[in-house]
A and B are shown apart, each in its own frame.
Chain A
Amino acid sequence: QKEVEQDPGPLSVPEGAIVSLNCTYSNSAFQYFMWYRQYSRKGPELLMYTYSSGNKEDGRFTAQVDKSSKYISLFIRDSQPSDSATYLCAMTGSTLGRLYFGRGTQLTVWP
């Protein structure tokens, strides 16, 4: 069963662009949603963490969750070359913490 779907890209945008990254999921039990950033051959770095539906903003990053559509998004405003990385969505509904990851979207922001 493909729990979490994420377009792997690659996505290439100019500096200053607004980037939209998305994931869909099938398990309605998922309640906690995360976005991680991963540089090549490094560990995932937590960017955003949200619970249930709604929006959360942190600086240039905004996470959105639409549980009715089983769809989550990460928006990056004023993108910078340093944002170039792979972005992973992850989610769980488990009381035991098991995370389900998307494949990751590879983003390149060129100057």
Chain B
Amino acid sequence: EPEVTQTPSHQVTQMGQEVILRCVPISNHLYFYWYRQILGQKVEFLVSFYNNEISEKSEIFDDQFSVERPDGSNFTLKIRSTKLEDSAMYFCASSGTPRDEQYFGPGTRLTVT
């Protein structure tokens, strides 16, 4: 059964450092998403991506965040200068169309020290 994969499973970084979180969406999906979940809080939308462009972004997704699809399979989230409050689980999701079910990856736990 196809699934979304994410690497690494856990990333520890120092405040101010750049991190890149990687995702491989389901192969025939065209819409890609990043969400995050701070411990004990709701899953929050960050950004959606289609046809090599950002479709929608939330107020959380400020200038320190960027997304890219560098090749036909990977989808990345870059945080340029990490802050303590960026510590969270980051989930990648994909869907065939924006009205279809979204399938989530296992997440990357980001710890900023």
Contact = CB atoms under 8 A, between A and B. Distances in A.
A35 to B, nearest CB: 11
B42 A44 contact: no
A45 to B, nearest CB: 7
Contacts of B4: 43
Interface residues of B, number: 28
Contacts of B6: 43
B25 interface: no
Contacts of A42: 106-107
Name the prevailing secondary structure of the A interface residues. Answer: loop
Contact of A102 (B42, B56, B98, B105): B42
Contacts of B102: 34, 46, 97, 99
Contacts of B75: none
A43 B106 contact: yes
Contacts of A97: 31, 33, 48, 55-56, 95, 98-99, 102
Contacts of B43: 44, 88, 90, 99, 101
A71 interface: no
Interface residues of A, number: 23
B109 A96 contact: no
A34 B101 CA distance: 8
Contacts of A99: 33, 35, 43, 45, 102
The 10 nearest A-B residue pairs measured at CB: A97-B98, A43-B104, A101-B43, A96-B56, A43-B106, A96-B55, A44-B104, A49-B101, A98-B45, A43-B107
